[in-house]
Chain A
């Protein structure tokens, strides 16, 4: 909090700092960020950098905090949607389908192309009253796609 307001008060100073940083950003091979990234755990990425002689060469990076953080923001958003769906299912305003759809980061059109159901059909299935009456074979289609059993599909959070 304090840090944030300080930064705002000393905005020109902050700009100056960034400008100093700029000078160093003509990245050299040994300056390639080697932060912890999700991909870095399985493979280092190829990056292109200008070497001492001004010529481009390739080097590997295990990650960069700036983009790891960007990926985290995207996943926070996914988590937020899953949580909102869970609440809706728990208080009976949506069928469990919504929860699994968000969990698999799908939207109506992706879900529709995987299952072959029309979008408006899926919209109906999202209503708890309609979902309860769905025949076994339709539930099976959803369950297979979401990689859960039919029991789990009906009761995602246990009895």
Chain B
């Protein structure tokens, strides 16, 4: 359990802006925000993988008939916002989440919390996020960060993707808080209660059990052919048709989109599979069931296969590969992963049934 080797940056000198806050860098923004905020308010047992697992973050879905940026709508995780909510609920932490229509009120209430020395999380859009590289600034509105302090017109921000604190002025912060488009954040801010009690090991254990059960349900029991472990095979079968149906040019952008969803910032690699593998290992400390370690290995293997598939896909979108056989190969890889994950989660479900 001592494996919390996040990069913790004790901020410069005491009394500097944001000095009362330990910035945590994490693979995924929502896990990172959840973990860092809970740490700040008194719960140090939580780590990024634990937050992800207790929040049942792992998922797969390709929404049919829906397009994102003109490509397939694929996600490797649950809905934004759920990880924080579920993890807090499991640990008995009260959660406040607010949306605003008035920009002034949204900024004023944030300022009031900061003046009281209470770091607060915000959901923002990345398109106008000034400190992000241009290459990442699409209209993606489900990014999370923590505002930790304010000095004059400058807000000090702990963004889990960044290595250190960053700053934005009030105009810039207001603009990202009120970004428009799908999942518009509408000024959303959220925070746990103050002075939280460290959860007992029993509470952690129960949270882990609930989290795993819920994740097994999501991966195995979702009706329809496109969600959960079987959804991976659905995408696999679709890919085989992409070359003929879409033509080479479009099919390439579709594959690139799949890889971006899988590997881009926030997934920790392999479409969150590695974070989940880490979760199962850390869960073992609270719930000593050896199957957890075994399933962890299987999920890791699946993550590795996702990365292999990404290499195959890159062969196609770089133009090195491109025959129907190459697409078939790519599709078959996903169908194989689908079977692997089905098997892993079935074993996990059986193992968790046995614990009381």
Contact = CB atoms under 8 A, between A and B. Distances in A.
B49 A67 contact: no
Contact of A70 (B278, B307, B314): B314
A47 B69 contact: no
Contact of B264 (A11, A18, A67): A67
Interface string B183-207: 0100000000000000000000000
A2 interface: no
B323 A57 contact: no
B111 to A, nearest CB: 25
B139 A46 contact: no
Contacts of A15: 329
Contacts of A64: 263
Contacts of B274: 47-49, 56
A113 B27 contact: no
B223 interface: no
Contacts of A57: 3, 5
A109 B25 CA distance: 34
Given A42-B162, A66-B313, A73-B253, 17 more contacts: A3-B320, A7-B321, A15-B329, A18-B312, A25-B304, A38-B133, A42-B133, A45-B161, A46-B6, A48-B274, A49-B274, A56-B274, A58-B6, A66-B259, A70-B257, A77-B253, A109-B181
B161 A43 contact: yes
B142 to A, nearest CB: 15
Contacts of A109: 181
A47 B277 contact: no
Nearest to A42: B133
Interface string B253-287: 10111011001110011000011011001100000
